[in-house]
Structure 1
Amino acid sequence: MTSNWSAFRAAEPDLATTVEDRFGAFTHHVLATLRKDGSPRTCGLEVRFLDGELWLGMMAGSLKALDLLRDPRCALQANPGEGTSMGGGDVRVSGRALLVEDEPTVGRYTGQVAVPDPSSFHLFRVEVTEVTRTSVRDDAYLLVEVWTPDGGLRSVRRT
């Protein structure tokens, strides 16, 4: 089962805010895709939360775009930042990145995001299958929060 970002936000507004803040703290993050042979590929990219959706924009013909066009499964990890503080915790989003080609949607996106050549990029909307936040609480325990569309939010505390 998948969910768009606004449905996740409605279900778990506090966690959604934390995730958006973590991704908003830095420009570049890590995307994991699957190569033709099924092995993983990781690369950097920018992430946008606009109009209730999670968006990925990338150069046309880039390897990560070709991976997603072939197999939309992906995972995103927010840049952890400098040092060891990881304020807000480690945040990851898994899902399916679906190509968006309709001109009104692409036009709305490029109207809000500076795109060097709007005719030469791929725009993907992420359908969310899992959101995970791992954080250290009170320097005493690790809290892992996992949300899925069909299971909701569950938390595991590890000491």
Structure 2
Amino acid sequence: MPENPSRWAAFAAAEPGLAQTVEARFQAFTHHVLATLRKDGSPRTTGLEIRFLNGDLWLGMLPNSVKALDLRRDPRFALQANPGPGTEMGGGDVRISGRAVEVDDPAVKAAYTEEVEPPEPFHLFRTELTEVVRTYIEDDKYLVVQVWKPGEPVRTLKRT
């Protein structure tokens, strides 16, 4: 994992086009798939709603949910946007990896609840990104993979 993860605003400033596409894909649907690590190191996937607010990507969770407990123990996560119905994935497939930092500051949580209205009490995690990936088909011919990591330009791979 990179030593200098990036918050959403830093990613969006560095790569505004990709950030806009990724955010639009996540905002197209309410529920997405979060991968965390269990105590034994095996992966766990669960559904999750996310929010982009005030320059950050936020993960809110019910108190003592297994995904919240996983992130408290090991903050590494992967988040995949809901692909939607059928085989069409407008905007492509997008994934974000990073660390989730739990936020207990009452002022920050109050600002979040003004926008989101989560059930109380709740866990709130701010994300620090270590990778953003978009995969899509171009011209019905090429598989294109865009990969961004903090401190690096987007790397684009294209193959037939």
Q: TM-score, normalised on structure 2?
A: 0.97
Q: Which residue of 1 aligns with 2:80?
A: 77
Measure how far apart 1:59 and its partner are.
0.4
1:16 match: 19
Q: 1:86 aligns with which of 65, 85, 89?
A: 89
How many percent of aligned residue pairs carry the same amino acid?
Answer: 66
Map of 1:123 onto structure 2 = 124
Asked if 1 retains the 8 angstrom alpha-carbon contact of 2:62 and 2:119, the reply is: no
Which stretches in structure 2 are left out of the alignment for 5+ residues?
none
Provide the aligned length of Structure 1 versus Structure 2.
Answer: 157
* Partner amino acid, structure 1, of 2:50: V
Q: Counterpart of 1:28?
A: 31
**Partner-residue secondary structure (3-state), 1:109:** helix
Distance apart, 1:114 and its partner CA: 1.6
Distance 2:23 2:151 in 1: 21
**Match of 1:58?**
61
CA distance in 2, matches of 1:64, 1:116: 16
Aligned counterpart, 1:95: 98
Give 3-state SS (helix, strand or coil) of 2:154's partner.
Answer: strand
Shift of 1:131: 0.2
Q: C-alpha displacement at 1:152, in angstroms? A: 2.2
- Corresponding residue of 1:112: 115
Gaps of 5+ in 1: none
Deviations 1:104-125 (A, max 9, x none): 10000001002122xx110000
CA distance in 1: counterparts of 2:19 and 2:146, whole angstroms: 12
How far has the Cα of 1:141 moved from its partner? 0.4
Quote how far apart the aligned CAs of 1:34 are.
0.2
Distance in 1, matches of 2:117 and 2:86, equals: 30
Aligned partner letter, 2:119: P
Using the alignment, how far apart are the partners of 1:94 and 1:151 within structure 2? 15
Post-superposition CA distance 1:33-73 (Å, at most 9, x none): 00000000000000100000000000010000000000000
Report the CA distance between 1:158 and its aligned residue.
Answer: 1.1
Matched position secondary structure for 1:41 = strand
**DSSP 3-state at the match of 1:87:** coil
RMSD: 0.6
